[in-house]
Structure formats: C-alpha cells, structure tokens
Amino acid sequence: MITLHDIAYVRSGTADAKAAAAFAVDVVGMELVAQEDGVTYLRADKRHHCLAFEEGEAGVLASAFSLKGPDELEAAEKELQAAGVEVARGTPKQARSRRVEDFIAFDDPFGNRVELVHGQVQLARPVHFGRPAGITEFGHICFDAPDVKEAYAFWSAHFNIKVSDWIGDWACLMRFDPVHHKLAVFRGSEPGLCHINFQVDSLDDVMRNWRFLQAKGVEIEMGPGRHPQSTAIFVYFKGPEGLTYEYSYGVRNLGDDWVPRVFDPTEPDAIDMWHGPIQRTQTQPQLRRPLPA
Ligand SMILES: CC(C)c1ccc(C(=O)O)c(O)c1O
Ligand SMILES: [Fe+2]
C-alpha cells in the first residue's frame, strides 16, 4: 500500500505564461515565486509552489502527491510496477525543476499523469499574496475521468485512499487524511484537470472573492453555493486556457468511523445545497507526453 502524505503541486502547460501568471497573482491571489527555464512557479502556502506553468502547449502536464521519504518512493515504484503500471523515475534536472528531491511518474488508468514526490521544498517566509483573497492552503485536486468507479478502484487498490462520498457515477471524493477530500474525480469524457482548490479563511472571503471575480469579468462556473458532501461553501471560476480554480471554506474533517454516502446526481441539491446552476465548461485536457526517460 502506498501512503500518500499530501498533495504537492499541479504542473500545467501554457501558451501564454504572462497571462497565466498574471491571473494566478492578480486574480487568484497567489505569490509569484520565480520564473526560470520557461517555468513560472506560484505558491499559496508553505510549499515552494503548488502551481507551475511550463511554456508550451496549454493543458495539464501532471498532478503530484508527496510521500514521506526516499524509501517510501522506492516502495511505491516497486508496488506500481508489480501491478503492471509503467513507472518512470524523474531525472535530477526534472526533480530540480519540480523543487523536489526525487519523483516518479505514471499514468492512471485513464491517462491522467500523476507524480509521486518526496522532499518537496518548503519556504519558511510568509506567503506574499498577490491580493487578499484569504487563501489558507492548497486544498485539493480534481481529475476528469470517464469512469469514477474504476478510478476509485485504482486509487483504493494501491494507495491509502478511502472514498468519503459519491455523487452517483458523476464524482468520487477521496481522502487519505482526516480532510474530507484532497483528491476527487469527476466524470468527463477525457482525462484532464477538473479544477484545483484553494481553501480560504472565512465565508466572507468566499463572498468577497465572488464579488471581486464578477467585477473583474471573470467567468464564474458555479457558486456561491454549498457542497453537501464536505459542507464547504464554494465558488468555481475559470482562468486562462481553461484552468478552473475553486475557492472553498469549511471543508469538514472525518473520523475513521465515517460511512461513505451516495448522493443522487439528478437531485437539484446533489452538488449545491443552495440549488445554484451547475455548468460544466471545457476543462484543461491532459497533455499526453512520454513518461520521463
Ligand atoms: C463537483 C465536484 C466534484 C465537487 C463536489 C463536492 C465538493 C466538496 O464537497 O467540497 C467539491 O470540492 C467538488 O469539487
Ligand atoms: Fe472541489
């Protein structure tokens, strides 16, 4: 069993790094940490970065989770290989570009590229937020996949992943620590990045951010609303090149005795207890690249 410690980062391709970074800083509120070798690094909490934009074609390149250390990384590599999953180890140069000690990469059964890392660099200095959005931390990653049950079968077979709640066959919300979910899978025809989530400090932050986004003419995908699953109050919005961001406040923690629930996706409050409109626009497609050599 591979023990995930935390989420680490999302790496996304961009055809316009300037616009992607400007949105991440001036709208989302992240800190621009560095721009180096065609990669723009953005942070929102203690991690060196939780979002990296690599110049090139637009689309998601990889989503990463951290493990405890080198022994755990090696064991993970062996376990995945034994299960018939093709795994590649990153080169020192690629690890440096990710600000990690070492990493491995593989594709989930649908083609979502996942990286497992150890030794992600932390920055001790406080985050110099681009604007006061109230971000407290990088909250969760949501993939697109055509079959959420099969996605859960994969994650639960190899990782310390438990399902927290199902939204029928539309979505699976998964945890590996007390937080209701740090990984989710939403049904989509192709692999891709459904959204990245940032936790904010208060309900007021969600509502202030919603007003701010509206005033800036940013496309609001969903919200403000309240998810019945985590009980979080949310707003989803679209950044450049189809990257969807979510702010949320109030995600619940679960105990070991939690029994996963099933929500009927055809009910009007299955995703939003306040019955807001749900619109799904094109999300960021997974860019297909060979695994690191
Ligand atoms: C619609 C998506 C998959 C979703 C559903 C529920 C929650 C939550 O309970 O917090 C999310 O964060 C989601 O992104
Ligand atoms: Fe979410």
Q: Do domains 6-118 and 135-285 have the same CATH topology?
A: yes
In the CATH scheme, what architecture does the domain 135-285 have? Answer: Roll (3.10)
229 lines ligand 1 (CB under 6 A): yes
Mean pLDDT (10-residue bins), the chain, 293 residues: 98 98 98 98 98 98 98 98 98 98 98 98 98 98 98 98 98 98 97 98 98 98 97 98 97 98 95 89 89 80
Which CB contacts under 8 angstroms, 24+ apart, belong to 214-221? 216/27, 218/27, 219/281, 221/279, 221/280, 221/281
**Multiple choice CATH, 6-118, 3.10.180.10, 3.40.1190.20, 1.20.1560.10, 3.40.30.10:** 3.10.180.10
Q: Which atom of ligand 1 is nearest to the CA of 232?
A: 10
In this structure, which ligand is nearest to the CA of 245?
A: 2
**Model pLDDT for residues 118-146, shown as the tens digit of each residue:** 999 999 999 999 999 999 999 999 999 99
Does the beta carbon of 120 sit less than 6 angstroms from any atom of ligand 1? no
Residue nearest to atom 4 of ligand 1 (CA): 271
Q: Which ligand has an atom closest to residue 186 CA?
A: 1
**164: how many CB neighbours lie within 10 A of its CB?**
23
Burial 80-95 (b: 16+ CB within 10 A, else e): beeeebebbbbeeebb
CA of 70 to the centre of ligand 2 (A): 30
Instruction: Give pLDDT, residue 278.
Output: 80
pLDDT in tens, 68-108: 999 999 999 999 999 999 999 999 999 999 999 999 999 99
Place of tokens 């995930």: 4
CA gap 243, 170 in Å, rounded: 20
Q: How does DSSP classify residue 278?
A: -
pLDDT number for residue 280: 72
Pull the structure tokens for residue 74.
């090696």
Residue 196, beta-bridge partner list: 141, 245
Atom index in ligand 1 nearest the CA of residue 167 equals: 5
How far CA 83 is from CA of 2, 150, 154, 214, in Å, comes to 12, 15, 10, 47
The domain spans of the chain are 6-118, 135-285
Q: Which atom of ligand 1 is nearest to the CA of 184?
A: 3
Answer for the pair 49, 33: CB distance below 8 angstroms, yes or no: yes
Q: What is the DSSP string of 190-258?
A: S-EEEEEEEEES-HHHHHHHHHHHHHTTPPEEEEEEE-TTT--EEEEEE-GGG-EEEEEE-PPB--TT-
Q: Quick one: pLDDT at residue 61?
A: 98
Cα–Cα distances (Å) from 235 to 23, 238, 261, in that order, read: 16, 10, 23
User: What are the DSSP E strand ranges found in 15-101?
Assistant: 31-36, 39-43, 51-55, 59-66, 88-89
Q: Which amino acid is at 32?
A: L
